[in-house]
Structure 1
Amino acid sequence: MPQPRQVRGTALNNFPSAPDKDDIDKTWDYLKSGIDRIHDNLQDGMDLKTYMGIYTAIHNFCTSQKAVGISSPATISSGAHRGAHLLGEDIYKKLIEYLTNSLEEHVKASESHQDEALLSYYIKEWNRYTIAAKYVHHLFRYLNRHWVKREMDEGKKHIYDVYTLHLVEWRAVLFNKVHEKVMGAVLKLVERQRQGETIEYSQIKSVVESFVSLGLDDQDSTKTTLEVYRYYFEKPFLEATKKFYTDESKQFVAENSVVEYMKKAEARLNEEEERVKMYLHPDIAVQLKKTCNQALIADHSDLLRDEFQVLLDNDREEDMARMYSLLSRIPDGLEPLRSKFEAHVRKAGLAAVTKVAADAEKLEPKVYVDALLEIHTQYQGLVKRAFNDEPEFTRSLDNACREFVNRNDVCKAGSSKSPELLAKYTDVLLRKSGTGIEEAELENTLTQIMTVFKYIEDKDVFQKFYSRMLARRLVHSTSSSDDAETSMISKLKEACGFEYTNKLQRMFQDMQISKDLNDGFKEHTQSLDSKVLDSQYSILGTGFWPLNPPTTTFNPPAEVAADCERFARFYKNKHDGRKLSWLWQLCKGEVKATYLRSMKSAVIFQVSAYQMAILLLFNEKDSHTYDDIASITALNSDALDPSLGILLKAKVLKSEGDKVGPGAVFNLNYEFKSKKLRVNLNVGMKSETKQEEVETNKTIEEDRKLLLQSAIVRIMKARKQMKHQQLVSECINQIRARFVPKVSDIKKCIEILLDKEYLERLDDDNLGYLA
C-alpha cells in the first residue's frame, strides 16, 4: 500500500482532545472527527500533532485490556487477548458503518447529475475517496498490522485492510447503484467520438481505472482481478460497439460502393486500435478487435469476396491489398480469394500462350518463354505487394503457373513442348551467336528461366534437350561463356540434385581433358618433319554425351585421314586399351579457296567434314558426277544430298537445274561472289533438326520406361510385398520430381518386370519381390 504524504495544515481549535482509551464511544467520536476531516476537508490540512493524536488513539484503543461489558477482574485477566480482539472488531465495524453512511449520501447526490456531469461527479468523488482512503489506511496502520492480519490469517472471509475496505464499500454501496448510469454516460461519449466529435476522453480513462481498481478477489483479499471491469465495462462497451458498427455498416453499404466501404471499414478499425491506446484497458483489445471484425468484415465478407474478381480484372492493386488486409482478420476469410486468384492467373496464362501460339510449330522459344514469364512476374508482384507475400497465395500462384505452363495450347502439340522450348531458349541465350547481352543481364535471364523450369512437370524432357544442345555448343565451341554455362548447371543442380546434372558436369570435364590432350598433341607434332594440319580433337566419354554414331560410312580426305591416324596413335600411347569411334557428322573445318576470279583475295569456306571431302575432290578437276562423289566419299544419300544441296544453294557448285541425285553433274563455280571473306557453309537443315527432335523424344520414352522399372524394383526390394495400387502410388511419388508418369505406363512396366521374373503375383492383388 503506498504511504500517503504527510498532511500539513493548521489544526482546528475545536478538534476534541484525546479520549480515555478504554471508552469506545468517546474514542470513536474522536476518531470520526479526524476521519471526517480527511474525507471532507482534506484540502484544509491537518497538523502533525492532530494526526499523531488520532494514530495514538487507535493504537491505545486496540491495545486496551478493558473491554466494555466485561465486569469481573478475573474475566478480564484471563481474556485479555480476546478483549483486545473485541475492541479491534468494534472499531472495524464502526468504520464500515461510517463508510456506508457516507457513500449513501453520495449516491443521493449523484442522482442530480446526468451524462458528462455524472462522469465528472463520479470521477471527482472517486479521486477524493481513494486519496482519503490512503490517509485513513495509514492512520489505522496498527489495526491493519494486528487485528486485520490476525483475522485474515485465521481464514476469516470479508475482512480487508482499511484501504481495501474503502474499495469494497464503494463497490457495495455506491458503485452497484450508479454503474449503469455511469456506463451509459461513457457509451454516449464514445458514440459522439465515433461520430466525429472531439471529447474529453480522460474522463473515460479515469472511469476505466476505477472499474479496474474495484476488481477485488473474494477468495484472497490481497489479490485483484479484472472481473468487475470485464462485466460492468467491457461487456456493455463491446455490445454497444457491435450495435453501432452493425447499424452503420448496413447503411453505408447500401449507399456506397464496396471499395468505399472497405476504406471506411479500414479507417474504423484503425480508430478502434487508437481508442484502446488512448483510454481503454489493454485487456479489451482482443475482444474489441473480434467484435469489430465481425460487424465490419465477417458480416459483409460475401459482398467483399464478390468484388474481388472485379478488382483482379481491373488491376486494382491498392484495393486488393485493402481487401486482403480486411479479410485476413477473420477465420478462413482469405480462402475464397485464393481460389479465385488461382483461377484468374491460370486463365491469364492460358490466354497469353494462346495469343502467341497461332502456329505452335513455328513458335519462337523466346516469345513463348517471355509470355509465360510476363504472367508470372505480373502476379508474383501482386502477391508480394497486395497479399503481403503470403505463403498460401504464393502456393495458389504456383498451382496456376504449373497448370498453364504444362497444359496450354502449345502443349497440345506435344506434352513435352514446354520443356523443349525452354531448353531451346536457353540454348539461344548461351550460344555465341545468340543475343549478345551483358553478363549480368544474361545471369538474370537464366534465373528467370529457372522460374519457368520450376513449374515444368517433365523435367526429364528438358534435361534431354538441354544436354544435346550443350553437347553441340561444347563440340562446336559456340558457348558464349563458360561462366554462364557453369552458372546454369549449378542452378539445375540446386533445383534437381546432383544426379540430374552429373552427365552435364562430366561433359565439361571431358572438354578440359581434351584441351590438355590437344596441347600435348601439338607439342608432339612440332617434332615431326612432315606438314601437319592445324587440328583440334575432342575426346568424349561414350556414357556421358548424348551423341549418336554416324548413320553413314565415310572416307575422309587423305590429308584429314593421315592427321586422324597420327592423333589416334598418340592417344593410344597415352591410354592403351581405349577405343576411338569417329563422329564424322560433328566434325568441321575450314577450306581456303584461291580459284575465284571475281574475288581479289582468297575466301575461307567453313564446312562440315562431308562438305570438305566433296570440295577437295575439285582440286583434281572442275567437274564431278553424283555417282563419282558418292563412290569416293562413301557417303550414303541421306548424308550426301544435304551437303551437296547447301553447296548448290550457296552457288559454290553448279548443276543443271540445281539437281541433286544420281545422274547429276556438279561443276565448280569460278564466278562465286561473297561480301564476306569467311563464308559459313556448315549450316543445319530443318529436316535434320526435326529428325533430331524425333530421336530425342524417342530416347525420352525409352529412358522413362527404364526409370519406372528401376523405381518399381527399388520399391519392391525395400518392401518385399505390396498391393498393386500401393505400388503404383508409391512409384508416382518417387518419379514425379522428374516427370509425371501415367498409370498405364507404370502398369506396363510392372507386367514387363513380372515377365522378367523380378516380381511375382501373390494372393489378394499382392505383388512380391523376387531376389
Structure 2
Amino acid sequence: MNRVDRRRDHMSSLEELWQKESRFLEQLFDDHTPFACKDLMEFHDYVYYHCSSFIHNPSVGSQEPGKHLYEALTHYLNALLKEISTGMENILSDEELIVRYVEHWQLYRKACEDLDRGCRYLNQNWVKQEQLEGHKHIHHVYRLAMIRWKELVFSPIDRALVTAISLTLRQKPRESTRSLVYQALRSIVELYANDERQEVPVPTKLNNVFTEEVVGFYKSETLAEFQRIISSNIFSDFKHFLKYACLAMPEIQEGLQFKAVLKRHLALLLDKAIAKSLGGKDYIQAILGTRQSPLERAMRDHKPLVAVIDEVCTDAINRMDQKRNPIGLLITYSNELMTKKSREEITEELKRIVDVMEFLNDKDKFIQQYWRVLRTRQIKESSSWDGNESTMISLLSKRLGQNVTAELTDQLKDFENSKRVNDKFQNHLKINGIKLGFDFRLKYFCNRGRDENFKLILPSELENAVQEFAKFHTEKRCVIVFNHQISCGEIIWNAGQSTHILEVSTLQMSILLLFNEQESFTADELAERLGTNIETIKPVLAFWIHIKFLISSGSSVEVNSDFTNRKRRLNFNKTADAAKTRKIEEKDDEKLRHERKFNMDAAIMRIMKKHKILEKSQLFSLVIEELKKFFTPSIGFIKERVDALTKKEDLELCGPTTYKYVS
C-alpha cells in the first residue's frame, strides 16, 4: 500500500470515529439529554483515540487527527446554529424573540458545557499545542461554541434583540418576562466575554450597546440572583454564574455590596453551627464546614470572595463575647486525640485542628498553652504514641514557621534526652549494685526556667536518691535542679485492712513521709521540717482535711487511720487549686506580653532599618503583615511600641505622620 492509500485509509478510520462521536452530539444537541457519567467517559475515550491514534504514523502529521476532529465539530455546530438562526430571523414580536432566543440559548449552553468536558483531551493537548504555535483562531471547544453562536445566531438579530430588550423593560413587564430578559442579557455578557476580540472590556461593551436603564437592570438582577443562589445552598451553577457576572461587574469582587450579602449569610450560618457544637470536634467542624463548603469550592476562582469566608471564620473565632474559649477547645480536643488508648493514625484530625488554629489572632497563645499540655502528657506518660506528637509539631511548624514552634520542638528533644539519661542512670544503679528502695525515674529533664520553684528539704528517703543522681550526673558537667512544683510520684499507704496507691506531688510525698516519724504535726512544724514557708503547704493540708484524709485537732493534723475510699488508686496530685491555676495563667500572660513587646520592637526596627523612612500607615501595615504568624497586634499596641522606640531615640518623628530610622 503506497503512501496515498495509507493516508486515505487513515482518514477513513477518522471518519468512522467521527460517526461514533456524532451520535453523542445528537444526544446533547438534538435530544437535549446531558451526558451520564458512563456517556462522558465513553465519549472522552473516542476523543482521545481520535486525537492520538495515528500520532506515530509517518503518513499522518501529529496534529492532523486533532485538526480533523476540531474541523468536524466546527462544521457540526455551524449547521446546527444556521438552522436555529433561520427560525428566528423572521420573528416580529419583541417578547417572542426574547423567549425563543433564551429557549435555544439555554439548551445550547448546557449542551456545550458537556461537550467541553468530553473534549478535555482535545483542549489540553491539540488546542494547547496549536495556540503555542501562534494559531490564534484556535480556541477551547466551549469558547469555539460561543464564538459560533455569536456569529451565526446573535449577530443576525443583534439589533432586533437589543431593541426588544430595551422596549420590554420600559413597559414594566411581569416577573416571568423580566427573568427572560435577564437570561438574554446573561447570554450577551457570555458572548462578549468569549469574543475573539478582547481589546474592549465586557463592562464597556455593555455600556456601548445598552442604555443606562438596561445596564442598571442587569446589575440589580445580578445582585438578586447572587443573593438567591447564596441563600439556596445549591451551588451547581454558581461557578459558571460568577465567572461571567464578575467579568461584566467587577464590583462583585472589588466592591462592598456583594461581599456584605455573602458575609451576613455566612456569619449567620456559622453562628448557628457554633452554637450547636458540643466540644472541640464539633467546633472545628463548624469552622471548616464553612471554610471548605460547596460554596467555597464554587467561588475558588474568585479570591476576593473566598477572602470573605476567611474573614467570617476569623471574626467568629476571635470574637470577644464568646461563651467558650476557642483556644481551650482546640487544646482540649488535641489532648483527647493524643491520649486515646489505641495507637491510631490521627493525622487528618490534627490537620483540621491546625487549619482552624490559623484563624486565631493569638497564635502565640495557642502555642504557649499547647506547650504546657504537651509537657503534662510527657510527665504523666499519657501520650499514646510519640509519632503523633511529632506529627502535630511538624504540622504547626509548616504553617507558622520553625521560629514560632521552636519551643515545642525543643520540648520533644528534651524529653527524648530525659529518657536516655534515665536509662543510663538505671544502668548506673544496676552496675554499682545501688538499691534506692523505690522507683526513681526522670520524666522531664529540662525546665528552661518556665516554672516557678520553691525551697524544699526532702526527707532522707528522697534525698538519698537525689544525691545519688547528682553524683551520677556530675560527669555531664551540668547543674541539675529538681522542680518541686511539677515533680510527682506514687506512694503506698497502708491503713488497717486497706492499701491505697496515692498519686502525689513531691511536696505531698514529703509531707506524708514525715508522718512515718510521728503521728501529728502543726502546720508550722511541717513548714520548718521541710524548709519551706507555711503558705506553700496550706493548700495541701486544706485539701486533705476537706476530703477527711487528715484530721485536724486544734492546731495539729494527723492521718485519719479510718479513711476509706472504694478506689485503690487515688490521685492527690490534681489538687492544683484555682489560686495556683490563676497564678500560672497570670505568669503566662505576663510572659506573653513581654514576648509580644520584644517581637513587636524587633519587627518595627527591622522594617525601619530596611525602608529608612515610612509613613505611619505604611509602617503599621508592614508590622501587622510581619507579625501575623505570631499574633495579630492591635493598632493601639503598635502605636504604643512605636512611641516607646521614639522616646528611646531608636526612631525619629520627622513629620506629623512620618518616622525615620536612627542608625
Determine the C-alpha separation between the residues in 1 that align with 2:170 and 2:252: 22
> Are 1:560 and 2:462 counterparts?
yes
Q: Deviations over 1:203-223 (max 9, x none)?
A: xxxxxxxxxxxxxxxxxxxxx
Residue 674 of structure 1 is aligned with which of 565, 575, 584? Answer: 565
Change beyond 3 A, Cα 1:240–1:256:
closer
Alignment TM-score, normalising by the size of structure 1: 0.58
Residue 488 of structure 2 is aligned with which of 566, 578, 588? Answer: 588
Aligned to 2:522: 625
Q: Which amino acid in the other structure matches residue 483 of structure 2?
A: L
Change beyond 3 A, Cα 1:396–1:266:
farther
Residue 367 of structure 2 is aligned with which of 463, 467, 488? Answer: 463
In terms of Rg, which structure is larger?
A: 1
Determine the C-alpha separation between the residues in 2 that align with 1:626 and 1:376: 54
Q: Give runs of aligned pairs for residues 271-286 of structure 1, distance below 5 A.
A: none
Q: Give runs of aligned pairs for residues 44-443 of structure 1, distance below 5 A.
A: 187-188=89-90, 235-243=155-163, 254-256=174-176, 261=179, 265=183, 299-306=217-224, 308-309=226-227, 312-313=230-231, 315=233, 317=235, 324=242, 327-328=245-246, 330-332=248-250, 334-335=252-253, 336-350=257-271, 355=275, 367=279, 370-371=282-283, 373-378=285-290, 380-384=292-296, 386-387=298-299, 390-410=302-322, 418-419=326-327, 421-430=329-338, 432=339, 439-440=344-345, 442-443=346-347
> Are 1:534 and 2:443 counterparts?
no
Alignment TM-score, normalising by the size of structure 2: 0.66
Aligned to 1:503: 407
Change beyond 3 A, Cα 1:664–1:256:
farther
Determine the C-alpha separation between the residues in 2 that align with 1:376 and 1:297: 38
Note the C-alpha offset of 1:529: 4.0
Residue pair 1:348, 1:375 contacting (<8 A) in 2 also: no
Residue pair 2:284, 2:353 contacting (<8 A) in 1 also: no
Larger RCO (CA under 8 A, 6+ residues apart) = 2
Change beyond 3 A, Cα 1:682–1:251:
farther
Change beyond 3 A, Cα 1:582–1:394:
same
Determine the C-alpha separation between the residues in 1 that align with 2:404 and 2:545: 43
Q: Deviations over 1:520-555 (max 9, x none)?
A: 111111133442131112464454xx62231x3211
Determine the C-alpha separation between the residues in 2 that align with 1:749 and 1:457: 19
Aligned to 2:543: 646
Deviates more, 1:633-642 or 1:521-530: 633-642
Q: Give runs of aligned pairs for residues 511-522 of structure 1, distance below 5 A.
A: 511-522=415-426
Residue pair 2:601, 2:645 contacting (<8 A) in 1 also: yes
Change beyond 3 A, Cα 1:624–1:244:
same
3-state DSSP class of the match of 1:627?
helix
Determine the C-alpha separation between the residues in 2 that align with 1:250 and 1:438: 71
Residue pair 1:426, 1:449 contacting (<8 A) in 2 also: yes
3-state DSSP class of the match of 1:584?
coil
Q: Which amino acid in the other structure matches residue 564 of structure 1?
A: V
Determine the C-alpha separation between the residues in 2 that align with 1:398 and 1:457: 13
Residue 736 of structure 1 is aligned with which of 612, 625, 628? Answer: 628
Residue pair 1:735, 1:741 contacting (<8 A) in 2 also: yes
Note the C-alpha offset of 1:404: 1.9
Aligned to 1:88: none
Residue pair 1:345, 1:379 contacting (<8 A) in 2 also: no
Structure 1 unpaired stretches of 5+: 1-182, 198-228, 274-281, 357-363, 657-662
Change beyond 3 A, Cα 1:255–1:621:
same
Residue 481 of structure 1 is aligned with which of 361, 377, 385? Answer: 385
Note the C-alpha offset of 1:381: 1.2
Identity percentage over the alignment? 24
Change beyond 3 A, Cα 1:619–1:297:
farther
Determine the C-alpha separation between the residues in 1 that align with 2:225 and 2:543: 62
Determine the C-alpha separation between the residues in 2 that align with 1:568 and 1:609: 17
Aligned length: 517
Residue pair 1:311, 1:320 contacting (<8 A) in 2 also: yes
Determine the C-alpha separation between the residues in 2 that align with 1:451 and 1:609: 39
> Are 1:571 and 2:450 counterparts?
no
Change beyond 3 A, Cα 1:407–1:250:
farther
3-state DSSP class of the match of 1:643?
helix
Residue pair 1:493, 1:500 contacting (<8 A) in 2 also: yes
Note the C-alpha offset of 1:723: 5.6
Q: Which amino acid in the other structure matches residue 677 of structure 1?
A: R
Residue pair 1:625, 1:665 contacting (<8 A) in 2 also: yes
3-state DSSP class of the match of 1:495?
helix
Residue pair 1:555, 1:633 contacting (<8 A) in 2 also: yes
Determine the C-alpha separation between the residues in 2 that align with 1:392 and 1:753: 36
Determine the C-alpha separation between the residues in 2 that align with 1:729 and 1:396: 19
Determine the C-alpha separation between the residues in 2 that align with 1:517 and 1:668: 37
Note the C-alpha offset of 1:733: 3.3
Residue 607 of structure 1 is aligned with which of 483, 504, 507? Answer: 504
3-state DSSP class of the match of 1:488?
helix
Aligned to 1:55: none
Change beyond 3 A, Cα 1:389–1:641:
farther
> Are 1:749 and 2:641 counterparts?
yes
Determine the C-alpha separation between the residues in 1 that align with 2:245 and 2:614: 47
Aligned to 2:577: 685
> Are 1:714 and 2:606 counterparts?
yes
Determine the C-alpha separation between the residues in 1 that align with 2:598 and 2:537: 36
> Are 1:700 and 2:556 counterparts?
no
3-state DSSP class of the match of 2:548?
coil
Determine the C-alpha separation between the residues in 1 that align with 2:652 and 2:198: 67
Q: Deviations over 1:467-489 (max 9, x none)?
A: 22222222332323212211111
3-state DSSP class of the match of 1:527?
helix
Q: Which amino acid in the other structure matches residue 564 of structure 2?
A: K
Structure 2 unpaired stretches of 5+: 1-84, 105-148
Change beyond 3 A, Cα 1:596–1:389:
farther
3-state DSSP class of the match of 1:603?
strand
Change beyond 3 A, Cα 1:253–1:233:
closer
Q: Which amino acid in the other structure matches residue 594 of structure 1?
A: N
> Are 1:548 and 2:456 counterparts?
no
Residue 555 of structure 2 is aligned with which of 633, 654, 664? Answer: 664
Note the C-alpha offset of 1:639: 2.6
Q: Which amino acid in the other structure matches residue 484 of structure 2?
A: W
Note the C-alpha offset of 1:612: 0.6
3-state DSSP class of the match of 1:707?
helix
3-state DSSP class of the match of 1:474?
helix
Aligned to 1:201: none
Determine the C-alpha separation between the residues in 2 that align with 1:604 and 1:195: 82
Determine the C-alpha separation between the residues in 1 that align with 2:267 and 2:314: 9
3-state DSSP class of the match of 2:496?
coil
